[in-house]
Amino acid sequence: MDSFRQFLMTSPAPLQSLAPSLWLIIGFPLLGALICGVFGKWLGRANTGLIACCAVGASLLLSILAYWAVNDPTTVTGSQHAFENFRYAFGHDYGTWFQVGSFQVRFGLWVDHLNGPMLLVITGVGLLIHIYSTSYMSHDAGYWRYFAYLNLFVAMMLVLVLADNLVLLFVGWEGVGFCSYLLIGFWYTDPAKAWAGRKAFITNRIGDFAFLIAAFLLVLLSDAYSRQATEANAPGGRIDRHRLGVVVTTGPLNFKAIDSMARGLGTTQGNGPKMSLDTVIQEGPLKGRAVQGVVTAILLLFLLGAAGKSAQLPLYVWLPDAMAGPTPVSALIHAATMVTAGVYLFCRMASLLVLSPPAMATVAIIGALTALIAALIAFAQDDIKKVLAYSTVSQLGFMFMGVGMGVFWAAMFHLVTHAFFKACLFLGAGSVMHGNAEETDIKKLGGVRKEMPWTWLTFAIATVAITGVLPLSGFFSKDAILHGVHGTHLHGLEWVTNFVWIIGLVTAFCTAFYMWRLYILTFEGKRSAEAKIPHAHESSAAMVVPLVVLATLSVFALIWGLHLMTSPSTGKSQAIFENFLAPIFANTDRIIQGTGNLVRHDSPLMTAYVVAILIAWAGAALAAVLYFRFFPAWRAAGKPAPAFASMARGFAVAKFKVDELYELVIINPIKWSAKLLYRVVDSLLIDTLVVRGVAWVTYQTGAALRYFQTGDAQGYAAVMVVALLAGVAYAVWGLGR
Amino acid sequence: MNGVPINYYLYLAAVLFSMGMFGVLVRRNALVVFMSIELMLNAANLTFLAYARQRASDIGHVSAFFVIAVAAAEAAIGLAIVIAVFRNRGTLNIEEIRTLKH
């Protein structure tokens, strides 16, 4: 065991060669996108698929190397590519990207324990989905376009994850949004699908706007910090020069700088730098505001940005519509990777987040409400992909709950396990659609189990995993969040804990219910009379193998959730993944201890486990009873439901009319004001007065002057003579006077 | 300064110029218009030379030679145009040649 452990913790290559090559992880998929996009038509289907898969495969290999190397404590600490105060992290600085005055952004990539697992998920699940796509998209005319977009997406997602500063992260953030837009509207000849792409893009834009404002505020805050946390403001105190130095040398938006600043701000007592959360900023545009308020504002704006990308409460509406894209895209972008960017962002800036309990509470409450509402909507959806889409929104809500309550490791753990089982579910759904003539209505499927044994098996495993039944990974990750939420109190906002926890439990119940409903209606019972084709067929090996791998992963990821390690600081047992992420959140924990913003207390783990298991089984059992006995799909109509039930169902089917509400409150006023602007400014002022006005004046002048042009040379000569005489007369008599 | 005073030269030049201008503006035959233009050019020449003589300067003479050269060139091209127009239209009546309109 020890030698195995030693093997895992020995870097496979020296950092001097590994760290400067980090860009290759991004470079391979980017090259693949270029080749597929430019030469894909000439290369043919098989070659395009091969190149795309190889590009992601090469990226996966490099990611494994990087992940391996980052676990090696000796090489990492001794190298020039390592960072002081950051254990288990290395990176490479490729130079200054741009610099304006003292503000600079550097082009740097890094790997640590937080983005290491992300790298593996993106490239690993990405590779599986690429392989799956070679079969799924084999008949599509735009396969080369598809693989170019998919590779570009993987590259952009890797930029997002590898970036060591917010600006580079934003490049990836926008890049994945753009690829998501391209892939949702992949079948752009269908106007509804093209619209879905646009909806996703516009909704994300609102979030991105908030993200940018937050980044600008952060720059201002950092500026104030480096100006005020100086010796002049700390009579008798000691300045942590190192911390200030990081902010100055790496630029204010670097994550290490943000971490250092948060650490400096979070130290209230002792002889740390004399700028804390209560300090009033003395210079700049933020003059006169307390740091605490600015931090909260920054975090809330980041929350809006993350809500756009990760489909949280005000901005989640784009994700269900994003199912218009090809199913593997839904699995990769809208379940496993892109939508988790918001969770990643907050975990990356955890040390900043814990400075503000109100912001944390908002994040947690938004997550909880999103989880609940999406789960409720998922009850009544009949489209297999729509159910999974709302399920994704709901599970992302869980992750936000965890982030908001400071259980960062559990949120990341759920992110990883969710990537496995939700990708498996989506790919399984794609396989079902593929074998049933693109039928997506679960009421018109049924009994697929016997005809598609592999799809059935993997889908069932993933369903068990997401439900949170004991031995699978979903149980451990979801329970880790719920347990962590239950054991955490926010300073001054103690009620949030129970609120979020109870909603979390209810949502867990709902999750079990809608997932089992989906599973039973699709796979169990008899085949529906309305099915498009009488017999389904199992998909090809290229589609089944990724399913099997993902199902296996969603079982074995549970290892990370086992409480086998002991915490070096408290001495208590902790989950492997928690132990693994501990170096990342070490600073965060110190800030928590310093400020007292968060109180963690132990609650018995076993009780939480029992509650979680009971809830999962209860939801599943309810679904089983209802859909086996009362509303089976294979019976044509089922029993007529009571009036209130059908009303509630109708409301849920209509997705709680959120889209309609947005239409009424936001979109229509904007449309009307746009129309007004169009009529008055564009149509009247610009078009009529300015553009056509100039033309009209010119035309009329010409029309009037036309009468002078007779074509008679002698007439022209006469005019010249008269003018000449007038000139002479002026010269002779006019000037003399 | 002996001989004829400069005034007479200038009067003559003015009369010649006016006659030429009158011809250009009034006559219908393109050839006659041409001859009138020559008349105007020569009136200008006469003015140049008169002043050159009065001021004992060579610049006036030089200018006169220039004008003669220009007049020769103008006559060559102009007559060619006149012939071309006559071949095309069969007339030299200026009132019927109004293509400058378009």
pLDDT in tens, A249-263: 777 888 888 888 888
Instruction: Inspect the interface and report whether the beta carbons of B25 and A709 lie closer than 8 Å.
Output: no
Rounded distance, CA A151 to CA A53, Å? 9
Quick count: other Cβ atoms within 10 Å of Cβ A1? 5
What would the mean pLDDT of A136-149 be, rounded to a whole number?
Answer: 87
Local confidence band at A634 (pLDDT 50, 70, 90 cut-offs): very low
3-state secondary structure (DSSP) of residue B93: strand
Flag whether pLDDT at A549 surpasses 70. Answer: yes
Residue A641's pLDDT is what? 54
Pick B24's closest partner by Cβ from A711, A712, A717. Answer: A717
Residue A179's pLDDT is what? 92
Flag whether pLDDT at A58 surpasses 70. Answer: yes
Chain A residues close to B85, C-beta within 8 Å = none
Provide the whole-model pTM: 0.79
Q: How far is A714 from chain B (nearest CA, A)?
A: 5
Chain A residues close to B97, C-beta within 8 Å = 713
Pick B100's closest partner by Cβ from A711, A718, A721. Answer: A711
Least confident of A423-427, A692-696, B96-100: B96-100
Which among A192, A291, A279 has a CA at the least distance from the CA of A234?
Answer: A279
Instruction: Inspect the interface and report whether the beta carbons of B25 and A721 lie closer than 8 Å.
Output: yes
Instruction: Inspect the interface and report whether the beta carbons of A713 and B100 lie closer than 8 Å.
Output: yes
* A314 DSSP 8-state letter: G
Residue A467's pLDDT is what? 86
Residue A710 at interface with chain B, using a CB cutoff of 8 Å: yes
3-state secondary structure (DSSP) of residue A60: helix
3-state secondary structure (DSSP) of residue A488: strand
What would the mean pLDDT of A126-142 be, rounded to a whole number?
Answer: 89
DSSP string, A330-393: HHIIIIISGGGHHHHHHHHTHHHHTT-HHHHHHHHHHHHHHHHHHHHHHHT--BHHHHHHHHHH
Flag whether pLDDT at A639 surpasses 60. Answer: no
- Per residue in A354-407, pLDDT (tens digit) is 999 999 999 999 999 999 989 888 887 888 888 899 999 999 999 999 999 988
Instruction: Inspect the interface and report whether the beta carbons of B95 and A712 lie closer than 8 Å.
Output: yes
Flag whether pLDDT at A541 surpasses 50. Answer: yes
How many CB pairs below 8 A link A and B? 27
Flag whether pLDDT at A176 surpasses 60. Answer: yes
3-state secondary structure (DSSP) of residue A94: strand
| Chain center to CA of A95 | 27
Structure token pair of residue A347:
């975990």
Q: How far is B15 from chain A (nearest CA, A)?
A: 15
Flag whether pLDDT at A474 surpasses 90. Answer: no
Pick B25's closest partner by Cβ from A710, A711, A718. Answer: A718
Instruction: Inspect the interface and report whether the beta carbons of B95 and A716 lie closer than 8 Å.
Output: no
- For residue A721, the chain B residue with the least C-alpha distance is B21
- For residue A718, the chain B residue with the least C-alpha distance is B25
Pick B98's closest partner by Cβ from A712, A718, A721. Answer: A712
ipTM of the complex: 0.80
Chain A residues close to B21, C-beta within 8 Å = 721
Report strand pairing: A103-112 vs A565-566: unpaired
Interface test with B, best of A705, A706, A707, A712 (most B CBs within 10 A): A712
Local confidence band at B90 (pLDDT 50, 70, 90 cut-offs): confident
Asked if A19 and A79 touch (Cβ cutoff 8 Å), the reply is yes
Chain A residues close to B26, C-beta within 8 Å = 714
Chain A residues close to B101, C-beta within 8 Å = 709-711
Rounded distance, CA B28 to CA A305, Å? 84
Structure token pair of residue A122:
């993106």
Q: How far is B87 from chain A (nearest CA, A)?
A: 20
Residue A635's pLDDT is what? 46
What percent of chain A has a predicted confidence (pLDDT) above 70?
Answer: 91
Local confidence band at A303 (pLDDT 50, 70, 90 cut-offs): very high
Q: Which residue has tokens 């009379």?
A: A529
What would the mean pLDDT of A511-538 be, rounded to a whole number?
Answer: 81
Instruction: Inspect the interface and report whether the beta carbons of A713 and B97 lie closer than 8 Å.
Output: yes
Local confidence band at A243 (pLDDT 50, 70, 90 cut-offs): low
Residue A606 at interface with chain B, using a CB cutoff of 8 Å: no
Quick count: other Cβ atoms within 10 Å of Cβ A733? 9
Local confidence band at A636 (pLDDT 50, 70, 90 cut-offs): very low
- Per residue in A182-217, pLDDT (tens digit) is 999 898 888 888 989 999 999 999 999 999 999 999
Flag whether pLDDT at A245 surpasses 80. Answer: no
Flag whether pLDDT at A157 surpasses 90. Answer: yes
Instruction: Inspect the interface and report whether the beta carbons of B94 and A718 lie closer than 8 Å.
Output: no
Local confidence band at A126 (pLDDT 50, 70, 90 cut-offs): very high
Instruction: Inspect the interface and report whether the beta carbons of A721 and B21 lie closer than 8 Å.
Output: yes
Chain B residues close to A711, C-beta within 8 Å = 98-102
Structure token pair of residue A439:
């039928």
Q: How far is A34 from chain B (nearest CA, A)?
A: 56
Instruction: Inspect the interface and report whether the beta carbons of A712 and B25 lie closer than 8 Å.
Output: no
Which residues, in sequence order, are CB contacts of A288 under 8 Å at separation 6+? A280, A281
Local confidence band at A20 (pLDDT 50, 70, 90 cut-offs): confident
Structure token pair of residue A78:
């001794």
Flag whether pLDDT at B20 surpasses 60. Answer: yes
Q: How far is A37 from chain B (nearest CA, A)?
A: 54
Residues 670-709 of A with CB under 8 A from B: 709
